[in-house]
Structure 1
Amino acid sequence: MRRSPDGTDDERSMLGRATLVGIALLVVVSLFTMPAAGHAYLSESNPQNGAALDTAPETVELSYAGDGIELADVTVHGPDGSEISGDTTIDSDDRQLVSVPIEDVGDGMYTVQWEVLADDGHTTSGTFFFTVGEEQLDRDAVRDTYSEDDDDDGTLFESGAKGILLLALIGLVGIPITAWVAVYPVSGRITSTTIEQIDLRIIQLVAGSAVLLALGVVGLGLTRSTALGATGGPAVQQFIGTTLGTIWLGQLALTGAIVGILIAAYRNIIERRAWLAAVFFGGIAMQLTVSWSSHSATAVDRLQGTVIDFVHIFGAGLWVGGLVVLAVVVQPLVRGREPIAARESVAAIIRRYSIVALTGVTLAGITGLFLAAWHAPTAEALLGTLYGTVLTTKTGLVLFALGIGGVVRFVLLRSLDPTAQGVFGRTQPTPTVPVREDGGESTTLRRVIWGVRIELVVLIGVILLSGMLTSIPTAAVAAGDEGIPQASIETEHDGGVVELSALPADDANDRLFVHEYEPVIYEATFRDQSGEQISSDRTVRLLATHEESDTAIEIDLEETQDGTYATVQALPAHGDWDLRVSGQPEDTFVAEWFELYVIIDHPEHTHDHSHGDLTGEQTPFAGWLGLLGLVVGVIGMVAVSIETIRFGRRQH
């Protein structure tokens, strides 16, 4: 293409291509659907949780849903508490299968503790048990296994490393684009000395991003390598042998390459256009490695999750990375220059940056809403979890930053450039506060600079919160994690109340519901008429009868430290059972009946009570979020088009 004398043809062409790329990405993103998938949580085990066996198995096998397993640590303890397991093995053909050999140490309760590092870099853990022989289960030991938390809440170090890594990626992408599209095209209006100052500052900005990149990559790799408790060289060596470890080595190599490019740029070995492009594409490659192993890619869909996550970070880079350039480069443009020239240069850069920023905001907005629909598919999940609280705070800060950006673009810019159009395209000259005759900054320019800096600080906080969001369980997982269900019902008698609770169990219509063959903790409590808990003067017994199979089971309940009476029992037949609790509180014999229903377990059915997963659920709330994302996309495309048309008209 032929270049016009003032270079505006090439500049418009460049902005037009950038806008078309942004719109194309937006259209592609809007075509994605929201499928459901799992996470690296235990879905099935052999033996099953609570299984009663005649003899101990030679191997314990664990099957996980969703993500593949990178590292696993499974430990089995025998009835006497000693460790009886060998080395943990991940199936090479199916990385969702983990096994560990164990020794047969006789009858009793065997406890299995597991912890895994999944493809998305998150660790999960849990505990289950099985029994061998006829020995009575210990209530406290069973309760401990049911109360184990299997969600990784992340660590402050991991959140910080991810936040730093995201800041670096945003700088590596946004700084070169803004410098290329918004700053250097106005270089014909400024002196060579000022250009040298701008070159140096941009190199310093990108170098700062490279330092953050190195800190984030190294910190995150070390965090993941020590996730299962190992430390030092062996932990790192083991981690390098995983898929995540391979990606980490690639990230280290990319970091080294970017640092090498910057050293060459600082020494003027390569020209500006070349090193800016090299840094930009290095940042893009790094973004791809991060998005490929993101939670969205591993938990929802590898391709769709990668694209959505990538576009989200890319859009944030266009917006926030450009603000970094404006915050640092504006002052060299206004110092020591003619007032009118300084004012026009700053206004021209802001107009150009506005197109980049609007494209970035649009891309980040639509993908952010799609991500929210995946990971917070219900209002309850959004409002009732840590993930939802952080996401809501992040959204509020983003809206605040958008407000500041709007003031800079549609209010302060008109003070710098009276011919600039307002929100609705009207051109109304506005009295300006001139630049001082000594070349110093006018009040309006100071407001512009401080507005940009405040917006930047707010968005840096947003990025750090994003690092936290990627390190904690999503709202879809946390909201589904209802813990072990416990239910209780009670009956009244002349002397007070008898309460029977069961864990795990549900209740409805004064009836308990438990699973067939699952060990359940039954706990009886006696209270007098005032509600005070009282003890029994004789042995408390639980009688369970199943009329259909003519089965009767009678068990002595043991008194616990909190004054209740408990046992652990699995009922062998599905259907209606009648339970009778008998005892003698305050010299009065009591025998009260309760209704219970045992739910039949099909071979393909598993009932892991430790967690739930709502990721990608097609809920009305998720649908509204997706629709809102499309609305934001349409509005954003219109805004980018209008801003681009305005810019083109000003060049004529």
Structure 2
Amino acid sequence: MNLQFLKRIGAGVVTALALFLVVTPSSASAHSILESSSPSASSVLAESPREVKLDFNEQVESHLGNIALFNEKQQSIKIGKLVRSASDVSIVTASLPSLKNGVYVVVWRVLSADGHPVSGAFPFEIGPSSSGTADVLLQKIVNGNATTSDLGNPLAAVRFIAFLAVIILLGVLSVTRKSEMITSSVVQRTARISTLALVVSSLGLMLLQGPYVSGRSWGALLDFSLLPDVITTRLGLWLLIRMMCGALWGTMLILAGSHNKNWWRRSAGVLALVTVLSFSASGHPSAASFSSVFVVVDAVHLLAISLWVGALLALTIVSRSVDIKEFARSFSRTATWAMPLTIVTGVVQGLHLSGGLSNIFDSEYGKLLAAKTIAVLVVVAFGTAARKKLADLESNSIASVIRKESAVVVLVVALTALMVAKAPQVTSDSLSTSFSTTLIQANIFTELQVEPAKVGPSQVHVILTPPGGALAPVLNVQVRLELQSRSIPPIPVTMVAVGPNHWIGVIQFPYAGKWTMEARVEPKKNQTLLFTTEVLVAN
């Protein structure tokens, strides 16, 4: 690797940043966000609604999802099954029985298009007026029904195996495809073990996905009744295709010594593309904005990784049995374009999913992306040393440096597996989980509260008091919150009077960050007071 090559990488990174600024919208979400509901949060209805309707910002999966309804005694009420709309795949509904007057809480859970569970809750009331107890009931129901699965880490480990398997498989075949070494025992053994790992990890992901999404644990791992629901999701379908690809790879390896080598290479190329798509079309890119474009970007990224990183790992494995000098030269030529292509597509993809440079170090996804970038640069540095050894024809030294590269490469793959499990959104665990401030205007003390101040459903309180004496009931209170850093427009919060000058509402925070809160208070006719503050929302 010379100065000219380093300049090429630098130019590639600049190109990636420019491309990102051109094609990426101001915010990119890879997880579903509830945009509206019927009944709306904290609404007071005159009569029983016929159904619960949830409208999201993107396609959601109804399989493995659920809508539950609880009354003011915290008792579960039997309702209809969750159904996705045939005309709009971002809408799900559940029919309701006839409900009596009272307070109710809806607890919902759906599956994002990228296979990650999304959940929330909101209250509504039936009757002539608000009882003022909706926020208390909501808190009790949410606390009592919080279900988290302990299968997150096992899922990440199995994803790591899947990523490692596919890049080693494609890497070893790319290095030896034009050589008789492709039929050697060491190459065949490496490819077969990788193929087996690919199939087993895909099956493992399919078995783990159902219990993980439904908030269950290891005991549900062999609950095969969940499998049909998993297979009907986008992730499940692509996992099934990936396992089929694994079976076909087994056949292709047997035919690797075929006399018709052109046929074998073309077939292997098509199979490699489908295998890579099984990862890209079922992950974060498939649920982000411009999904068609970024599924392709991600597929190119994974292919480039396989030709660079996968081939590197393959060289490490075969270097203990054969002289790798010949293969190292071929790999060096491939890495010349695969390395910058990996970096360019990785930068574009990462920035698109995380929402921009400003959010990189504020999210777990962004921090993992930064760590992965550093690790990749370390691999590039080792690659520079390997190229020098290659120029000096130091075969043993080449193998030594390549093994060091491979150790860092495994870390890169592990970080990639962890990134798949993270939502590309701002997180801030250090922020407070509640917010309260008091503002004064026109001799009126206005207390603004958000509980909890974190991503998900939150209660908004506006409490009005004078410095002394009584305050006549205000006519109206309007609240809006916006997140300018992600260009999220003002979200109106439906406010309901629950007591003397005490108004409450519910908002679903889609992202963490510094939100701007506006409260418009109408103390009397033709008078409006505007209170503005900033609310720090945690993940």
TM-score range, shorter chain: 0.7 to 0.9
- Offset at 1:50? 1.1
Mapping 1:240-259, distance limit 5 Å? 240-259=231-250
1:113 paired with 2:116, answer no
CA offset digits 1:286-305 (Å, max 9, x no partner): 11122122211221223201
- Equivalent residue number for residue 489 of structure 1: 438
Q: 1:212 to 1:348 in 2, by over 3 A?
A: same
1:45 pairs, out of 37, 43, 51, with 37
Mapping 1:99-110, distance limit 5 Å? 99-110=93-104
Alpha-carbon distance in 1 for matches of 2:238, 2:461 = 46
| Deviates most, 374-383 or 447-456 | 374-383
1:414 paired with 2:391, answer yes
Other structure's SS at 1:299 match = coil
- Equivalent residue number for residue 510 of structure 2: none
- Equivalent residue number for residue 205 of structure 2: 220
- Equivalent residue number for residue 69 of structure 1: 61
1:447 paired with 2:397, answer yes
Other structure's SS at 1:45 match = strand
CA offset digits 1:406-436 (Å, max 9, x no partner): 11112x22332xxxxxxxxxxxxxxxxxxxx
Paired residue type of 1:364: T
2:117 pairs, out of 119, 123, 127, with 123
- Equivalent residue number for residue 450 of structure 2: 503
1:34 pairs, out of 24, 34, 58, with 24
CA offset digits 1:583-625 (Å, max 9, x no partner): xxxxxxxxxxxx96489xxxxxxxxx9999xxxxxxxxxxxxx
1:54 pairs, out of 46, 60, 68, with 46
Mapping 1:394-473, distance limit 5 Å? 394-410=372-388, 412-416=389-393, 444-473=394-423
Alpha-carbon distance in 2 for matches of 1:102, 1:30 = 48
Mapping 1:585-596, distance limit 5 Å? none
Contact 1:146 1:484 in 2 (8 A): no
CA offset digits 1:384-427 (Å, max 9, x no partner): 221122111111111111111111112x22332xxxxxxxxxxx
Alpha-carbon distance in 2 for matches of 1:172, 1:486 = 52
Other structure's SS at 2:87 match = coil
Other structure's SS at 2:104 match = strand
Q: 1:153 to 1:479 in 2, by over 3 A?
A: farther
Contact 1:129 1:145 in 2 (8 A): no
Paired residue type of 1:46: S
| Deviates most, 56-65 or 269-278 | 269-278
Alpha-carbon distance in 1 for matches of 2:259, 2:254 = 10
Q: 1:273 to 1:30 in 2, by over 3 A?
A: farther
TM normalised by structure 1 equals 0.62
- Equivalent residue number for residue 163 of structure 2: 166
Contact 1:165 1:212 in 2 (8 A): yes
CA offset digits 1:23-48 (Å, max 9, x no partner): 9xx99x96982245554221110111
2:75 pairs, out of 65, 69, 82, with 82
Contact 1:170 1:321 in 2 (8 A): yes
Other structure's SS at 2:89 match = coil
Paired residue type of 2:168: G
1:200 pairs, out of 185, 195, 203, with 185
Other structure's SS at 1:76 match = strand
Alpha-carbon distance in 2 for matches of 1:375, 1:57 = 38
Alpha-carbon distance in 2 for matches of 1:543, 1:289 = 63
Q: 1:332 to 1:520 in 2, by over 3 A?
A: closer
1:316 pairs, out of 288, 305, 313, with 305
Contact 1:381 1:388 in 2 (8 A): yes
- Offset at 1:145? 7.3
Contact 1:78 1:110 in 2 (8 A): yes
Other structure's SS at 2:120 match = strand
- Offset at 1:55? 2.1
- Offset at 1:355? 1.2
CA RMSD of aligned residues (A): 4.2
Q: 1:34 to 1:504 in 2, by over 3 A?
A: same
Q: 1:544 to 1:500 in 2, by over 3 A?
A: farther
Contact 1:126 1:150 in 2 (8 A): no
> Tell me, which stretches of 5 or more residues in structure 2 are unaligned?
1-11, 478-496, 507-518
Paired residue type of 1:110: Y
Paired residue type of 2:157: G
Give the number of the structure whose residues are more often strand, by fraction: 2
Paired residue type of 1:488: T
Other structure's SS at 2:473 match = strand
1:141 paired with 2:91, answer no
- Offset at 1:468? 0.9
Other structure's SS at 1:545 match = coil
CA offset digits 1:508-532 (Å, max 9, x no partner): xxxxxxxxxx97435799xxxxxxx
2:521 pairs, out of 561, 572, 576, with 576
Larger Rg: 1
Q: 1:105 to 1:247 in 2, by over 3 A?
A: same
Other structure's SS at 1:103 match = coil
Q: 1:541 to 1:356 in 2, by over 3 A?
A: farther
Alpha-carbon distance in 1 for matches of 2:98, 2:134 = 20
Other structure's SS at 2:199 match = helix
CA offset digits 1:179-229 (Å, max 9, x no partner): 125xx2xx7xxxxxxx59x71111111112102211221122222233224
Alpha-carbon distance in 1 for matches of 2:264, 2:390 = 31
1:180 pairs, out of 177, 180, 194, with 177
Q: 1:238 to 1:569 in 2, by over 3 A?
A: closer
Q: 1:378 to 1:277 in 2, by over 3 A?
A: closer
Alpha-carbon distance in 1 for matches of 2:117, 2:289 = 17
| Deviates most, 100-109 or 359-368 | 100-109
- Offset at 1:308? 0.5
Alpha-carbon distance in 1 for matches of 2:149, 2:522 = 38
Alpha-carbon distance in 2 for matches of 1:300, 1:128 = 27
TM normalised by structure 2 equals 0.74
Alpha-carbon distance in 1 for matches of 2:208, 2:422 = 14
- Equivalent residue number for residue 285 of structure 2: 296
> Tell me, which stretches of 5 or more residues in structure 1 are unaligned?
1-22, 188-194, 335-345, 417-443, 492-497, 507-517, 526-539, 558-566, 580-594, 600-608, 613-652
Alpha-carbon distance in 2 for matches of 1:361, 1:53 = 60
Other structure's SS at 1:80 match = coil
Q: 1:481 to 1:302 in 2, by over 3 A?
A: farther
Q: 1:179 to 1:519 in 2, by over 3 A?
A: closer
Q: 1:317 to 1:363 in 2, by over 3 A?
A: same
Alpha-carbon distance in 2 for matches of 1:153, 1:301 = 33
Paired residue type of 1:113: V
Other structure's SS at 1:474 match = coil
Contact 1:179 1:325 in 2 (8 A): no
Other structure's SS at 2:48 match = coil
- Equivalent residue number for residue 516 of structure 2: none
Other structure's SS at 2:438 match = strand
Alpha-carbon distance in 2 for matches of 1:470, 1:575 = 41
Mapping 1:328-347, distance limit 5 Å? 328-334=317-323, 346-347=324-325
Alpha-carbon distance in 1 for matches of 2:250, 2:172 = 15
